[in-house]
Amino acid sequence: MTRAGKNILFRALLIGPALLAITVFMIIPLGLMAYISFRGRDYSGGVLWDQFTAEAYVRLFFESELDGTLALNFNYMYIILRSVWLSFLTMVISLAVGLPVAMFMATRDAKWKAVLVFMVTLPFWTNLLVRNYAWILLLRDHGIINSALLWLGIISEPLPLLHNSFAVAVGLTYSFLPFMVLPIYASLEKIDLRLVEASFDLYANRWQTIKRVILPLAFPGIVAGCVLVFVPALGAYITPELLGGGKTLMIGNLIGFQFGAARNWPFGAALGMFLLALVLTSLWLYARRYRGDLERLQ
Amino acid sequence: MKINPFRNRAFPGDARHWPGLFTATAAFFAYVYLPILILIALSFNENRTVTIWTGFSLDWYRMAFSNRDIVSAATNSLIIASVASVSATTLATLAALRMASNDRFLGKTGINAVFALPITVPEIVPAVATLMFFASLGFTFGLGTVIIGHIVFCIPFAYLPIRARLEGMDPKIGEAAADLYANPVQAFWRVTLPQLVPGILSGLVLAFIISLDDFVTTFFLGGAGSTTLPIYIFGLVRTGVTPEVNAISSLMLLLSLSLVSLSLFLGRDQNRKTGPD
């Protein structure tokens, strides 16, 4: 066998198995999902395999009236908009909280940096379900926060903290905050602190220094952090399920519902394609502009 | 302006002492860790109403350990996580060995993108896609389908640290082995692999934690007899808060925390210890 031939065989044997596993059990299923999203719905819960239709996508925006005409239906659009809005809110809150934390971490000495990075990373590896459950204990009517406020006499009735958009936003921020802190920290870490001193020497005040020196340097990390928070928040399933209490649905729950009680696969597939398109568009916009920065951060 | 040495010890241009940074960071860590600590504390609470502290008790742990459903869910979790993490790490190690080299070949960027795909896409999408795939093929949902789903999303978690480890290796060591007449096979077994073992173990532990903690994929690809701890906890939480849930949740938290510490310890950058270069 030639040297080049051997090289290709070697490559196929090493990379092949992992590539095959992801292709067969992820890429092909995603292809099947795209296919099913254009099939008809069998009301017994199955798929009409030989019927091509865009019905599932139409259903996202319209509903059929009794006389067969289509009328705008805001139910699903409302859930989609809520998902985008809550993810955006999560991103903004994470940024506001994450930026000073990253700044603090980046200005410590090497030993403290290692400890702080470890402490930020640690919760990410703990069970997401359990971390969201912990917020039920805090937010529910007889939970820690309401009990404390009642005891202090600040309120006389428990505040409705659980099972609403507020609870979902708190849970999403809690779940994905480390994804904001770490990339900003990575881009700030290399800052030469003398730049900040130079800025003060040139009569800039603190606010001007933040705006003109620190934010431009942190920018690649901020953008990466925003993407890393926004994308998983958009596809969240557990947080709205537990903290939204079945009332504050997001796209993920709507998809899940089509494979459970609703048994409408084509519609579930179409929603899946819609979420996939939203996520891939955000990533593509980001990659087109900041490709180099992303690779540097990894 | 006169500088008061007590009120403003630091030069205002010294970003390390800016006001608010420390407060913000302290608040951040309180926000991140307090809910977890409160959950663990409440799991030792004797009272059934969960949020009022009346005394220390291990009753809920005793109840959890004697509950057969919990024990069988824990067994399923461990079976799935062991099989999935070992399989995924094997596949990932083989791939990383080839992908970490510097040479360029057709499709390399694409292959890296495929390996990152399971962590790029929100989990619910591949979970329901694989559900439809398995159902169309007539598979029976249970431990087998869950394990396949877990192997796929564990691959990136094992692949990324192992590849990073390989890329961080000093190529001079391999060259030295070749200079000392080691053939490529000997060089791999005697030089590359021993250096890579901590990276592989670190990837293995991360894949294990991710599999152990998974909810969404397990929920959609599972069937009768594949209930894992997260699925069991979810079922209980939806019907109401019970002290038993606090106990199992705390155990899961502590298990993940010790495993991730182990993984970070194994995967730490050992080049740093060799001193300045």
pLDDT band at B155 (very low <50, low <70, confident <90, very high): very high
A23 touches chain B (CB under 8 A): yes
Residue B213 lies in a domain: yes
Range of the domain at B111: 67-268
**Consecutive H or E run containing A71:** strand A70-72
Q: Closest residue of B to A33, CA-based?
A: B129
Bigger pLDDT: B174 vs A57: A57
CB-nearest partner of B35 from A129, A134, A234: A134
A231 touches chain B (CB under 8 A): yes
* Residue B127 · residue B217 · CB < 8 Å: yes
Q: What is the mean pLDDT of residues B217-244?
A: 88
Residue B204 lies in a domain: yes
Asked whether the predicted pLDDT for residue B3 surpasses 60, the reply is: no
Interhelix angle A3-22/B143-167, nearest 10 degrees: 130
CATH number at residue B209: 1.10.3720.10
Q: Closest residue of A to B260, CA-based?
A: A125
Which letter does DSSP use for residue A42 in this model? P
Please give the structure tokens belonging to residue A45: 């819960």
Contacts of B249 in chain A (CB under 8 A): 127, 130, 133-134
Identify the segments of chain A with pLDDT beneath 70.
1, 290-298
CB-nearest partner of B252 from A27, A127, A235: A127
Query: Mutation test of the interface with chain A: which of B34, B94, B103, B124, choosing the one with the most A Cβ atoms within 10 A?
Result: B124
Residues B8-53 have pLDDT tens digits of: 455 666 767 777 788 889 999 999 999 999 888 888 887 776 566 7
What is the CATH T-level fold of the domain A75-297, as seen in this structure? Answer: MetI-like fold (1.10.3720)
CB contact under 8 A, B12 and A29: no
Asked whether the predicted pLDDT for residue B213 surpasses 50, the reply is: yes
pLDDT of residue B13: 65
pLDDT band at B273 (very low <50, low <70, confident <90, very high): very low
Bigger pLDDT: B93 vs B173: B93
Q: What is the mean pLDDT of residues B158-166?
A: 87
Domain count, chain B: 1
CB-nearest partner of A135 from B35, B206, B264: B35
Q: CA A55 to CA B19: how far, in whole Å?
A: 58
Q: Closest residue of B to A103, CA-based?
A: B21
Helix and strand counts by DSSP (H, E) for chain A = 14, 4
pLDDT of residue B147: 97
Which letter does DSSP use for residue A163 in this model? S
* Residue B21 · residue A103 · CB < 8 Å: yes
Contacts of B51 in chain A (CB under 8 A): 137, 142-144, 147
Asked whether the predicted pLDDT for residue B122 surpasses 60, the reply is: yes
Asked whether the predicted pLDDT for residue B77 surpasses 60, the reply is: yes
pTM of the model: 0.86
CB contact under 8 A, B36 and A18: no
pLDDT of residue B11: 62
Residue B202 lies in a domain: yes
CB-nearest partner of B151 from A21, A197, A256: A21
E-assigned strand segments in B56-128: none
CB contact under 8 A, B230 and A276: no
- ipTM value: 0.87
Residue B80 lies in a domain: yes
pLDDT band at B277 (very low <50, low <70, confident <90, very high): very low
The secondary structure of chain A in percent helix, strand, coil, rounded to multiples of 5, reads: 75, 5, 20
